[in-house]
């Protein structure tokens, strides 16, 4: 992993899309349906999808080719390590975490993607004003995520955005939007 720590590598990540209005990272895109749909709707933004599952990576690659998308990049690697080693502080305008594995059994819940450590990493890589969009259909996970994110102190849950997100959540699958605030 040492080479991933190289400043040049970090700079290269940002330099992939220098003209993009926003650089968005998506964690765990699954088969990539939502990624491709959002990327098609927003050609002005650049999307870096991180996924470990090979069939999912293949599926998104096929969608990118079929739709002729020029604003999607893929890293097939553990998102926790990507966040820790490959993304410079404040490099991202947004992070999407849509329907992460819910791990409903109590004894498995420590495997959940959203933890105080990963939220600290998200706070590090998001620029001030950047958005973290988190969606889940597990009520228990939603409560835990909200508690963990708010406990971090770097994020504010914006009621106006929340209302908007609730209205559009079917389209964007974003049910919770947190904005990276100035105060830590």
Ligand X SMILES: C[S@@+](CC[C@H](N)C(=O)[O-])C[C@H]1O[C@@H](n2cnc3c(N)ncnc32)[C@H](O)[C@@H]1O
Residues at the interface with ligand X (CB under 6 A): 27-30, 34, 50-53, 56, 78-80, 98-101, 113
Provide, rounded to whole angstroms, the least separation between the CB of residue 135 and ligand X. Answer: 7
Q: Among residues 53 and 147, whose Cβ is nearest to ligand X?
A: 53
Provide, rounded to whole angstroms, the least separation between the CB of residue 25 and ligand X. Answer: 11
Contact between 178 and 131 under an 8 Å Cβ cutoff? The reply is yes
Provide, rounded to whole angstroms, the least separation between the CB of residue 160 and ligand X. Answer: 24
Q: Among residues 40 and 181, whose Cβ is nearest to ligand X?
A: 40
Residue among 46, 93, 101, 137 flagged as catalytic: 101
Contact between 13 and 86 under an 8 Å Cβ cutoff? The reply is yes
Contact between 72 and 47 under an 8 Å Cβ cutoff? The reply is yes
Q: Which one, of 1, 63, 5, lies nearest residue 31 by Cα?
A: 63
Provide, rounded to whole angstroms, the least separation between the CB of residue 78 and ligand X. Answer: 5
Q: Among residues 32 and 130, whose Cβ is nearest to ligand X?
A: 32
Assigned token pair, 48: 């870096």
Q: Among residues 133 and 180, whose Cβ is nearest to ligand X?
A: 133
Q: Which one, of 118, 121, 37, lies nearest residue 87 by Cα?
A: 121
Q: Is 101 a catalytic residue?
A: yes
Distance between CA atoms of 160 and 166, rounded to whole angstroms? 10
Q: Which one, of 129, 119, 64, lies nearest residue 92 by Cα?
A: 129
Residues noted as catalytic? 101
């Amino acid at each position: 992993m040492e080479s991933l720590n190289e400043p040049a590598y970090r700079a290269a990540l940002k330099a992939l899309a220098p003209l993009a209005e926003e650089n968005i990272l998506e964690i765990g895109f699954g088969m990539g349906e939502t990624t491709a749909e959002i990327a098609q709707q927003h050609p002005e933004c650049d999307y870096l999808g991180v996924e470990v599952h090979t069939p999912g990576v293949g599926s998104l690659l096929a969608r990118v080719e079929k739709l002729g998308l020029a604003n999607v990049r893929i890293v097939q690697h553990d998102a926790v390590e990507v966040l820790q080693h490959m993304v410079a502080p404040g490099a991202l305008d947004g992070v999407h975490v849509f329907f992460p594995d819910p791990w409903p059994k109590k004894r498995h819940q420590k495997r959940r993607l959203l933890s105080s450590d990963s939220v600290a990493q998200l706070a590090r890589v998001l620029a001030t004003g950047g958005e973290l969009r988190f969606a889940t259909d597990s009520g228990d996970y939603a409560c835990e995520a909200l508690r963990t994110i708010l406990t971090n102190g770097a994020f504010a849950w914006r009621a106006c955005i929340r209302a908007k997100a609730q209205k559009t959540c079917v389209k964007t699958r974003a049910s919770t939007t947190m904005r990276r605030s100035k105060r830590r």
